[in-house]
Amino acid sequence: MSSTPACQSSSNHSAFDPETAKTAYAEIGPRGSLELLSQRELTALIEGVNHCDLQELFRRCSLAVMNTGNECDDATQLFDFYRDFSIEVARRTRGLKLIIRNAPRSAFIEGRMVEGIRQHLFAVLRDIVYIGTEISDPARYDLTRGSDITDAIFHILKHAHVMQPGMNPRVVVCWGGHSIPRDEYDYTKEVGYQLGLRGFDICTGCGPGAMKGPMKGAAVGHTKQRNREARYLGLTETGIIAAEPPNPMVSDLVILPDIEKRLEAFLRLGHAIVVFPGGVGTAEEILYLMGILLAPANAGLELPVIFTGPSHTENYFAELDRFLTFTLGENVRGKYEVILADPVQVGRSISRKIEEVRKQRRRDGDAYYFNWLLTIPETHQAPFDVNHDSVARLKLSRTMPVHELAVEIRRAFSAIVTGNVKEHGIRMIQKHGPLRLRGDAELVEALDRLLRNFTAQGRMKLNGEYRPCYTIARSSGP
Q: What is the dihedral of CA 76, 82, 84, 88, to 10 degrees?
A: -100
Distance CA 242, CA 179 (A): 15
- Give the mean pLDDT of 416-430: 91
Phi, psi of 279 (to 5 degrees): -105, -140
Task: Write down the pLDDT at residue 36.
Answer: 62
- The answer to whether the beta carbons of residues 121 and 28 sit under 8 Å apart is yes
CATH topology classification for 8-140: MCP/YpsA-like (3.30.1850)
List of residues 6+ apart from 282 with CB closer than 8 A: 175, 176, 177, 210, 275, 276
Task: Write down the pLDDT at residue 10.
Answer: 41
Q: How confident is the model at residue 73 (pLDDT cuts 50, 70, 90)?
A: low
Task: Write down the pLDDT at residue 35.
Answer: 64
Q: Pick the more confident residue, 387 or 97.
A: 387
Q: Which CATH class is domain 143-478?
A: alpha beta
- Give the mean pLDDT of 199-215: 96
Phi, psi of 153 (to 5 degrees): -60, -45
Q: Where on the phi/psi map is residue 415: left (φ > 0), alpha (ψ -120 to 50), or beta?
A: alpha
Q: Tens digits of per-residue pLDDT, 8-59?
A: 444 333 344 544 578 888 999 887 667 666 666 677 777 777 676 788 888 9
Give first-to-last CA distance, the chain, whole Å.
Answer: 41
- Give the mean pLDDT of 174-195: 96
- Give the mean pLDDT of 455-473: 85
| Burial letters 55-92, b for 16+ CB under 10 A, else e | bebbbbbbbbbbbbbbbbbbbbbbbebbeebebbbeee
Task: Write down the pLDDT at residue 42.
Answer: 73
| Location of each CATH 3.40.50.450 domain in the chain | 143-478
**What predicted TM-score, i.e. pTM, was given to this entire model?**
0.92
Give the Cβ contact number of residue 274 at 10 Å.
29
132-141, 186-195, 354-363, 454-463: the lowest-pLDDT one: 454-463
Distance of CA 113 to the CA centre of its chain: 25
Report the DSSP beta bridge partners of residue 272. 172
**Sign (positive or negative) of CA dihedral 371, 287, 317, 215:** positive
How high does pLDDT run on average in the chain? Answer: 89
Q: How confident is the model at residue 412 (pLDDT cuts 50, 70, 90)?
A: very high
Q: Tens digits of per-residue pLDDT, 301-360?
A: 999 999 999 999 999 999 999 999 999 999 999 999 999 999 999 999 999 999 999 999
| Location of each CATH 3.30.1850.10 domain in the chain | 8-140
